[in-house]
């Protein structure tokens, strides 16, 4: 059900959030006026990209067309005050905004807005993400560098207790392995070099050496048990501290001074994304409906990390609906295929399993394919493949001629499946 509402916003929204089934709800009107009718603390996540100052001429005018950039900032901030009111205490607000030039001067508009929100409206800035617009448009200027990035700010209302699921956006880590009877971490660390450095160290006392050896044995046991995927050991006199050498500034430096060593553990579920995102601009789709849509991938991390399951995402500047689209597609339709099924021809729209003579067993190549189903104007339901994971990259290459993320552990694939399938679905490992 897609609904465009032009009046009674408060009544319609209350009905919407009290329903079990979620569907796109479009409220058409002036953003500042519509937001006033949304109840306090009713939104889980806000992701938006307002019109930039003096960048586009929209048919009906509005924000972005102000003569003075200060007036533009005033209008934007006024709307974001309403955003803060409707956002839950546990919610997050993500703002993508680009800069503008005036009389040859780069105005710094994104940071002017961010500092205004921080200094005068008590927003808390958790991240300032640099969106590196890979393969961005050509720049014909001859007296400065090309502009190739935009800012994405992550704001919250309270310093602690806001919803944040870091595991939802971590990269899949490489696994440890055993080589010649020794445990080797994901990046090849076996502990041999650290053990030699401990023994030969002149900067550590005998007591500190004993404690360092015990710590190294413990960390290697954690790698072997799969509790962590990798680690680094910093020894006094061998490696520098990771941030500052001053014990008054860095807790790590203080630990190194007092103990003679410390250990950095890498999370077993992989690394979090950094605050620099390499994402292609959305310059090939929806040109007929909007001159400046932002890419789906720009919304994916914010929504996955900061919107809880069944939460409500708001975009006060809807545009082409990229935020809405991303919110609807983070839960994808999933199919799984065994190698033999991939070799079998499709028969219409029905999968035929009669060609499988033997059941799948542990040790076979396993594949996870993630698909998205979209309803089109002609009522058809085309399915598009979104990603592929495989325990055997050669299996995917042989069957489909496609690239895959290689050597994904079977346990990870099953965990992904378990999170997607319903309680009535059953599958058995033989």
Residue 403 belongs to a domain: yes
Query: Of the candidates 266, 290, 308, which is a domain's last residue?
Result: 266
d(CA 320, CA 48): 11
Residue 430 belongs to a domain: no
Asked whether residue 299 falls in the same domain as residue 377, the answer is: no
**pLDDT computed for residue 66 by the predictor:** 92
Asked whether residue 258 falls in the same domain as residue 341, the answer is: no
| Phi, psi values for residue 108, rounded to 5° | 70, 35
Question: Mean of the per-residue pLDDT values for the chain?
Answer: 75
**pLDDT computed for residue 87 by the predictor:** 97
Query: Of the candidates 217, 249, 266, which is a domain's last residue?
Result: 266
Task: Count the Cβ atoms, other than its own, within 10 Å of residue 374.
Answer: 12
**pLDDT computed for residue 108 by the predictor:** 97
Asked whether residue 55 falls in the same domain as residue 139, the answer is: yes
Asked whether residue 228 falls in the same domain as residue 249, the answer is: yes
Asked whether residue 11 falls in the same domain as residue 143, the answer is: yes
Asked whether residue 262 falls in the same domain as residue 401, the answer is: no
How many domains does one find in the chain?
Answer: 3
Q: What is the pLDDT of residues 83-134, one digit of tens each?
A: 999 999 999 999 999 999 999 999 999 999 999 999 999 999 999 999 999 8
Residue 391 belongs to a domain: yes
Confidence of residue 209 (pLDDT cuts 50, 70, 90): very high
Confidence of residue 285 (pLDDT cuts 50, 70, 90): very low
- Cβ proximity of 330 and 303 under 8 Å: yes
Residue 425 belongs to a domain: no
Query: Of the candidates 244, 266, 288, which is a domain's last residue?
Result: 266
Q: What is the pLDDT of residues 216-246, one digit of tens each?
A: 999 888 877 777 777 888 898 887 766 666 6
Q: What is the pLDDT of residues 321-371, one digit of tens each?
A: 555 554 544 443 222 232 333 333 333 333 333 434 444 444 555 555 555
Task: Count the Cβ atoms, other than its own, within 10 Å of residue 36.
Answer: 13
Asked whether residue 58 falls in the same domain as residue 159, the answer is: yes
Residue 411 belongs to a domain: yes
Asked whether residue 59 falls in the same domain as residue 196, the answer is: no
CB-based burial, 44-78: b 16+ in 10 Å, e otherwise: bbbbbbbbbbbeeeeeeeebbbbeebeebbebbbe
Residue 426 belongs to a domain: no
d(CA 108, CA 36): 29
Lowest mean pLDDT segment, chosen from 115-124, 141-150, 164-173, 241-250: 241-250
**pLDDT computed for residue 321 by the predictor:** 52
Asked whether residue 123 falls in the same domain as residue 186, the answer is: no
User: From start to end of 14-160, where are the E strands?
Assistant: 25-27, 43-48, 87-97, 101-102, 105-106, 124-133, 149-156
Nearest to 220 by CA among 251, 259, 172, 183: 183
Asked whether residue 38 falls in the same domain as residue 130, the answer is: yes
Is the predicted pLDDT of residue 72 greater than 60, yes or no? yes
Looking at residues 192-198, what average pLDDT do you find? 87
Looking at residues 17-26, what average pLDDT do you find? 76
Asked whether residue 10 falls in the same domain as residue 76, the answer is: yes
d(CA 280, CA 136): 7
Residue 107 belongs to a domain: yes
**pLDDT computed for residue 255 by the predictor:** 85
Lowest mean pLDDT segment, chosen from 44-58, 101-115, 147-161, 290-304: 290-304
**pLDDT computed for residue 79 by the predictor:** 94
Residue 381 belongs to a domain: yes
Report the CATH number at residue 135.
Answer: 3.40.50.150
Asked whether residue 248 falls in the same domain as residue 297, the answer is: no
Q: Which domain holds residue 280?
A: 3-168+272-329
**pLDDT computed for residue 290 by the predictor:** 43
């Amino acid at each position: 059900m897609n609904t465009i509402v032009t009046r009674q916003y408060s009544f319609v929204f209350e009905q919407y959030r009290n329903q079990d089934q979620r569907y796109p709800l479009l409220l058409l009107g002036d953003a500042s006026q519509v937001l006033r009718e949304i109840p306090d603390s009713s939104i889980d996540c806000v992701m938006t990209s307002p019109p930039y100052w003096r960048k586009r001429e929209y048919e009906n005018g509005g924000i972005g067309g102000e003569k003075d950039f200060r007036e533009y900032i005033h209008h934007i901030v006024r709307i974001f005050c309403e955003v803060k009111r409707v956002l839950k205490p546990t919610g997050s607000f993500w703002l993508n905004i680009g800069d503008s030039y005036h009389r040859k001067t780069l105005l710094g508009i994104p940071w002017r807005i961010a500092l205004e929100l921080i200094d005068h409206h008590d927003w808390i800035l958790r991240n300032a993400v640099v969106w590196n617009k890979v393969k961005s448009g050509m720049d014909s200027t001859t007296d400065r560098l090309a502009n190739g990035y935009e800012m994405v700010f992550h704001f919250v209302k309270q310093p602690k207790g806001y919803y944040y699921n870091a595991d939802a956006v971590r990269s899949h880590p490489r696994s440890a392995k055993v080589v010649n009877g020794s445990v080797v971490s994901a990046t090849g660390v076996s502990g041999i070099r650290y053990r030699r450095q401990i023994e030969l160290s002149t900067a550590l006392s005998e007591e500190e050496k004993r404690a360092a050896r015990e710590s190294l044995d413990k960390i290697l046991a954690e790698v072997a048990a799969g509790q962590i995927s990798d680690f680094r050991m910093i020894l006094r006199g061998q490696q520098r501290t990771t941030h500052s050498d001053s014990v008054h500034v860095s807790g790590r430096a203080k630990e190194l001074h007092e103990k003679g060593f410390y250990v950095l553990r890498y999370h077993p579920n992989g690394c979090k994304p950094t605050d620099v995102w390499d994402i292609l601009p959305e310059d090939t789709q929806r040109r007929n409906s909007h001159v400046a849509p932002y890419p789906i991938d720009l919304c994916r991390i914010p929504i996955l990390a900061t919107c809880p399951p069944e939460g409500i995402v708001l975009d006060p500047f809807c545009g082409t609906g990229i935020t809405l689209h991303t919110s609807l597609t983070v839960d994808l339709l999933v199919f799984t295929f065994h190698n033999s099924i991939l070799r079998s021809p499709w028969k219409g729209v029905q999968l035929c399993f009669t060609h499988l003579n033997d059941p799948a067993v542990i040790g076979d190549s396993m594949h996870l394919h993630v698909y998205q189903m979209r309803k089109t104007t002609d009522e058809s339901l085309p399915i598009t493949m979104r990603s592929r994971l495989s325990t055997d990259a050669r299996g995917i290459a042989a069957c489909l001629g496609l690239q895959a993320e290689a050597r994904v552990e079977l346990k990870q694939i099953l965990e992904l499946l378990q999170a997607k399938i319903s309680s009535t679905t059953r599958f058995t490992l033989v």
